[in-house]
A = this chain, B = another copy of it.
Amino acid sequence: MNHNIETALYLFPVTLGDTETERSLPSFNNEILSGIKHFIVENIRTARRFLKKTNPDFDIDSLSFYELNEHTAAEDISDYLKPLEDGHPMGILSEAGCPAIADPGAAVVSMAQTKRLKVIPLVGPSSIILSLMASGFNGQNFAFNGYLPVEAHARIKAIKDLEQKVYAENQTQIFIETPYRNDKLMADLLKTCRDNTRLCVAADITCAGESIATRTVRQWKKEKTVIGKMPCIFLIYK
């Protein structure tokens, strides 16, 4: 089959965790994937696995991969868009979720924009948007803050500052944590936030163990919930 697709840098989201691709990716993404030979990926091994999963007929050995992660030197990235500049469509594959949101992909996208190359983002699961939808919180004004500081004092101050923004700016505050620290973060939130502040904990989104619950801090304190090491996203609002 001959795939003629527009020459552009395509941004491919990847399923969150162990779930079917049909659960969270439009079939259009797969059509575009089949027309691309050059991929920028965070990890070649998991990228190959994802490509095999979305399309078992994919001839993976015919593809070129360019690795982009925290070990990639800035000077190496400058060549990464060469195939696209030569007229070949390219793809950026995330490890999980949407590329260039919370991964190194943004540096390459920024370079593509500077070179005035066409960038086409594709639809897929964003744990930020999915958790916000299901939280019941303000979706017309929200901020994603990434990870909070690990150091105790800085962390408590960060939580207080975020809660302050909730009340002063009516802005939903969203943040994440490394899974093994989920319960520590939960304890810090319950210790620091007002009893009436609402906290949404969204775990294992789009996967078998999905659970998205909004309670007041007062209610969470009573329930003594243990989250465990699931991938998790936290939201606070009044």
- Chain A residues engaging chain B, CB cutoff 8 angstroms: 11, 20, 22-28, 98-103, 105-107, 109-114, 116, 119-121, 123-126, 128-146, 171, 200, 205-206, 210, 212-215
Contacts and interface: CB of A to CB of B under 8 A. Distances in A.
Number of copies of this chain that the complex holds: 2
Contact of A121 (B105, B107, B131): B131
Contact of A120 (B137, B171, B210, B213): B210
A106 B145 contact: no
Contacts of A142: 143-144
A217 to B, nearest CB: 14
A133 B11 contact: yes
A102 to B, nearest CB: 5
Contact of A27 (B27, B120, B126): B27
Contact of A26 (B25, B105, B112, B119): B25
Contacts of A25: 26, 123
A30 B113 CA distance: 35
B120 A123 contact: no
